Amino acid sequence: MPKRKDLKKIMIIGSGPIIIGQASEFDYSGTQACKILKEEGYNVVLVNSNPATIMTDPEFSDKTYIEPLIPEFVEKIIKIESPDAILPTMGGQTGLNIAVSLDNMGVLKKYGVELIGASVDAINKAEDRELFKKVMEKIDLYVPPSGYVNNLTDALKIAGKLKYPLVVRPSFTLGGLGGGVAFNKEEFVDTVTRGLDLSPVNQVLIEKSVAGWKEFELEVMRDKNDNVVIVCSIENFDPMGVHTGDSITVAPAQTLTNYEYQIMRNAGLKIIREIGVETGGSNIQFAINPENGKLAVIEMNPRVSRSSALASKATGFPIAKIATKLAIGYTLDEIPNDITKKTPACFEPSIDYVVVKFPRWSFEKFPNTDASLTTRMKSVGESMAIGRTFKEALQKSIRSLEIDRYGLGCDGRDSIIEENISQMLAIPNQDRLFYIKHSIENGDTIENIFDYTKIDPWFLENIKQLVDFEKTFKEKTIKNISEDEIREAKKLGYSDIQLAYLLRCSEEDIRYFRKKTGIKAVFKTVDTCAAEFEAYTPYYYSTYEDENEIADSIKKKIVILGSGPNRIGQGIEFDYCCVHASFALRNEGFETIMINCNPETVSTDYDTSDRLYFEPLTFEDVMNVIEDEKPFGVIVQFGGQTPLKLAKKLLDAGVNILGTSPDNIDIAEDRKRFGSILDCLKIPQPENGTALAVSEAKLIAEKIGYPLLVRPSYVLGGRAMVIVYNEENLINYVENAFKVSPGFPVLIDKFLEQATEVDVDAIFDGEEIFIGGIMEHIEEAGIHSGDSACVIPPFALSPGTIDIIKDYTFKIAKALNVIGLINIQYAVKNSVVYVLEANPRASRTVPFVSKSIKVPLAKVASLVMSGKKLKDIDFKRVDSNKLDYFSIKEAVLPFSRFPGTDTILGPEMKSTGEVMGIDKNFGVAFAKSQLAVNQKFPQSGTVFFSVKDRDKNDIASLARKISNLGFNIITTKGTGDFLERMGIKCDRVLKIREGRPNVLDLLKNGEIDLIINTPEGSEARSDGYYLRTAASVLNIPCITTISGASAAIQGIYELKINSNINVKAIQDY
């Protein structure tokens, strides 16, 4: 049956900002959906608040609304656009929740909008756990016994019936947010309370734990003719008890017989039919008791998911694309398989390799939080690797993570604490795999490790094989090792770096040995069919075998290095740039080759580039591709730090690095060299110094004066930056830094207090500059630019200052011989413009600027890097300073995932993603950006003020403004006395240490609606700390900077007087 002709206009709901549990996989699915619907001739309306997505590029939809993803705003869009249908299954949990709300609000009925892909009924059956349980029982499938409660009393009653451990799952939250396993009553009360709070419907499911059972997933698709296929099976390395997002997972299932698998497959078919997903894909999770094969159904997501993105990349079967086609009426047999061209999509992929997904965590960013892995997802990204065996894929997946490990240990970087071993095995954590290997090395048995971990012995045996293999290298050196032994090692997935460690030589020695003996990687095709049919899609992975499948090509090739797994500080923004580079260069006639290892992205869609290599981004793995493909050049500027780190080594290996030279990139990173350039150009930068000893640091501090911004030198990776206000703090910091990394200097900068920070993204071609955007930060300097809100055009900078910034930008770009993108951060204080840093590469703000000015910066830059001049490129020279609307970028912070971590913002980045608010009115644009990050500003109620002394002068006007809006003000004594002196009425409340009831009690009782708290230095465990962490758990807005508070109050003002905020597609600005 052909596609539906009764639908003309279809709306797609995106998933919003990147958060833990909902990342760029939904850009991948949404982009595919937009592409398909457009290709099929539908009018496409997209709503998504995240500007850093490919799908929000104006050319992917007819109308793109970058607006908050809340039902009220989506309704406004529906009112304007009157779409015939909404496709809600591409935008993760957010998309589904909005669809359900729109239905509940009667909006769908009112405007005659149909849901396609999944009906409300199906969504409810899958998402409402009580309903789901009933449906499963109806079709004779086992669900662990459970009960569904709305309050703690009922929860405790159920707990009395079932035995601990119990799993708590809040309804309608994503990524298991608020859920967890409780082993005792105390934990249970905690988890239930939090779960009830976080569930939008105040419901949690209490479930008998099946922790320790084997965990599996199936990706299932169904069309309107009731044809059902299983696209992929996934087995979790970590058994039940760890969120699948935090589990190492393997595709296909490894330890199931056909008998067990078909039971599961049949269950999958029954479930999707009974839930009633008629046209689309679903992810179903199962558990199997390893002792008797008993199958339990855990949950179902009636939409595309993180796992479906993984399954798509793992098999070459594009689930989101096919799901979209099914939603508009096609049946599976009508859709061709892109890869084989000759066979239909109605089949079940067979793969002839093993895929391993490895999560990437960022616990180092969130001290004081519980770092164990539970049913609540905590990872921020993932890598995927393909190998011909589990061992090879596992090792590749680990070196894809960029955690400075180049495989499963065997690199001298283990940090095992002997007395913790049993605990580290028993309680899932991010280092568990390394502890398992260590235990095997120490002679522990598979049986024993299984008892601790419940990880299937087959997986453990594979690790043991690696250990056994490494033992055979014990007595060997590079001098007496044989060719066969090295070949065997490469087959097992060992990197040159690991072999260098084993054989006590350098990576170069191993490389030389391999070249001499002809041991090199070959590339195999991902073809959905295990080579049964010819594949036409060039999607490859490396392995060490005999046949290389890469076909020669005569086109001029450009390799684009991707950004690897998402992490805090390097996320979707860089993937966005890589994808744009590929699009632009393909269009220009180059053959583009993408190398990346992140399954969640658009860049790893086999449609994005001419060739896709799913490979780790290490020197060795990248060189394997380069040596085979012999490209004209390589782009390292777009993938963030990951490819940049490789630039110099690639250059030394004779690779042509396109754009700004690695040496110039290095100049910008090296403060001495960069400093002298700025001196030459007479451009000021904050006074600074480099200290190698505590005494030196003290001297520098005396010279420049406090406060200071201090950080370890870039050798350590630029983490752990702090602001110190006095000598005691400085000495503490510096002493600790030298203890951790002796011999490495500490960088000390004058911290410009209350300066305005400005970000600039520009393109330089050697002669001409195009300034894409000058962004004024809303928070003052000192907050990491990734965590602070910023606005285009600047709202407070004088024209003179803007001219100076433009002038400096040109001079620096020229001095650094930039070819391509450059990002410069400035601080403006008392009309003096200081340069904080310059990065001659794509920055995090490139997508935001591109959306704001509607010029695809990364595309233009990639053309410049390929040798074109700006004057020869056709694009609109928009002056961002003259725009008649405001675009505001706001960061999204993951603190609710990490209870116990202070939510105060500082120089170290903590946000996972961003949103954009856009409007003609600054206040409205800001309000939209806040609504989009789910920061619901109160319209009335009580505001709590507690600010540090330095900020007191600034709060009077704010307090007056909010008081005039009808809010009550409550403060601590100091702030209150000050405000009263200024004639502002306020109530008092005790600080936590002053007794009870104190401010924390009020907060917990729901008597405070907004907190404005600017912290004093970084004293841990202060009142502010307790307040902020409690606010984060209770989801009460808490603003920690004066300028942020000022913008927020302006936003509240606009929301109050201007209750009817308008929405507008970016195409219409």
Partner 1 sequence: MKALLVLEDGKKFIGKSFGSHGEMVGEVVFNTSMMGYQEIITDPSYCEQIVTMTYPQIGNYGVNKKDTESGKIQVSGLIVKEYLDFYSNYRATESLDSYLKKSGIVGLFDIDTRELTRHIRIKGAMKGIISTENFDIDYLISKVEEYPGLTGRDLTKDVSCKKAYIYNKNIKNHKYFVVAVDYGIKTSILKCMSDAGLKVKVVPPHTSAEEILMENPDGIFLSNGPGDPSAVDYAIPEIKKLLNKKPIFGICLGHQLLAIALGAKTFKLKFGHHGGNHPVKNLSTGKIEITAQNHGFNVEMKSLQNIKNIDLEITHMNLNDNTVEGINYKDLNAFSVQYHPEAKPGPDDSKYLFDDFLSLMKNFKLSNKNK
Q: Which residues bind partner 1 (CB under 8 A)?
A: 225-227, 229-230, 252-259, 261-262, 265-266, 290-293, 332-333, 342-344, 346-354, 388-390, 456-458, 461-462, 465, 524, 529-534, 545-547, 549
The CB-of-449 to partner 1 minimum distance in angstroms stands at 13
CA angle 712, 716, 721 (to 5 degrees): 40
Q: Which is nearer to partner 1, 534 or 980 (CB)?
A: 534
Q: What angle do CA 335, 339, 342 make, to 5 degrees?
A: 60
Closest to partner 1 by CB, 360 or 396: 396
Return the ∠ at Cα 1059 (arms to 1057 and 1062), rounded to 5°.
Answer: 120
Nearer to partner 1, 262 or 831 (CB): 262
- Please state the closest distance from residue 252 (CB atom) to partner 1, in A: 5
Q: How far apart (Å, rounded) are the C-alpha atoms in residues 764 and 840?
A: 10
Minimal distance, residue 7 CB to partner 1, in Å: 23
**φ, ψ (nearest 5 deg) of residue 1051:** -65, -45
Q: Measure the CA–CA gap between 490 and 405, rounded to whole angstroms.
A: 16
Minimal distance in Å, beta carbon 817 to partner 1? 46
Kindly tell me which of 546 and 728 has the beta carbon lying closer to partner 1.
546
List, as one string, the DSSP characters of 681-697. HT-----EEEESSHHHH
Q: Is 516 exposed, middle or buried (0-12, 13-18, 19+ CB in 10 A)?
A: exposed
CB of 716 to partner 1, least distance (A): 40
Rounded-to-integer distance, Cα 915 and Cα 601, Å? 18
Shortest CB 476 distance to partner 1, Å: 21
Least Å distance, CB 239 to partner 1, is 13
Q: How far is CA 208 from the centre of its chain?
A: 32
CA-nearest of 555, 627, 560 to 591 is 555
Shortest Cβ 641–partner 1 spacing (Å) = 34
Contact 646, 562 (CB under 8 A): no
Min. distance of Cβ 390 from partner 1 in angstroms?
A: 6
With a CB cutoff of 8 Å and minimum separation 6, the contacts of 537 are: 316, 338, 339, 525, 526, 527, 606
Residues sharing a CB contact under 8 Å with residue 1052, sequence separation 6 or more, in sequence order: 927, 937, 938, 939, 962, 965
Distance between CA 176 and CA 194 in Å, rounded? 12
By C-alpha distance, which of 126, 92, 593, 586 is closest to 320?
A: 92
Nearer to partner 1, 465 or 741 (CB): 465
The Cα–Cα gap between 445 and 851 comes to 56
Residue 1037 tokens, joined: 């807005």
With respect to partner 1, which residue has the nearer C-beta, 534 or 879?
Answer: 534
Inter-axis angle of helices 727-740 and 694-704, nearest 10: 140
Report the nearest approach of partner 1 to the CB of residue 265 (Å).
6
Q: Closer to partner 1 by CB, 139 or 530: give it.
A: 530
Rounded Cα distance between 932 and 936, Å, is: 9
Residue with tokens 């602070």, as numbered in its chain: 788
The nearer residue to partner 1, 288 or 595, going by C-beta atoms, is 288
Output 173 or 537, the one with its CB closest to partner 1: 537
Three-state secondary structure along 308-339?
HHHHHHHHCCCHHHHHHHHHCCCCHHHCECCC
Q: Which is nearer to partner 1, 291 or 767 (CB)?
A: 291
- Beta-ladder partners of 559: 593, 634
Supply φ then ψ for residue 452, to 5 degrees: -75, -45
Q: Output 227 or 423, the one with its CB closest to partner 1.
A: 227
Are 111 and 80 a contacting pair, CB within 8 Å?
Answer: no
Q: CB-wise, 390 or 926, nearer to partner 1?
A: 390
Question: Whose Cβ is closer to partner 1: residue 262's or residue 695's?
Answer: 262
* CA torsion through residues 860, 862, 865, 868, sign: negative
Distance between CA atoms of 571 and 55, rounded to whole angstroms? 16
Q: Which helix (H) or strand (E) holds 647?
A: helix 641-652
CB 56 within 8 A of CB 48: yes
Q: Which is nearer to partner 1, 6 or 546 (CB)?
A: 546
* Shortest distance, position 336 Cβ to partner 1, whole Å: 10
Closer to partner 1 by Cβ: residue 258 or 480: 258
Beta carbon nearer to partner 1, 256 or 1048: 256
Which residue in 297, 269, 272, 270 sits closest to 282, CA to CA?
A: 272
Least Å distance between CB 430 and partner 1? 25
Considering the complex, what minimum distance in angstroms separates the CB of residue 347 from partner 1? 5
Give 1019's contacts (C-beta < 8 A, 6+ positions apart). 1025
Q: Match 């009020």 to its residue by tokens.
A: 1002
Q: Which residue's CB is nearer to partner 1, number 233 or number 664?
A: 233
| Least distance (Å) between residue 520 CB and partner 1 | 14
Least distance (Å) between residue 493 CB and partner 1 = 12
- When the beta carbons of 261 and 706 are compared against partner 1, the nearer one is 261
Q: Which residues, 6+ apart, have CB-to-CB distance to 660 below 8 Å? A: 637, 816, 817, 818, 819, 820, 822, 840, 841
Token output for 827: 């601080």
Closest CA to 139 of 274, 295, 269, 272: 274
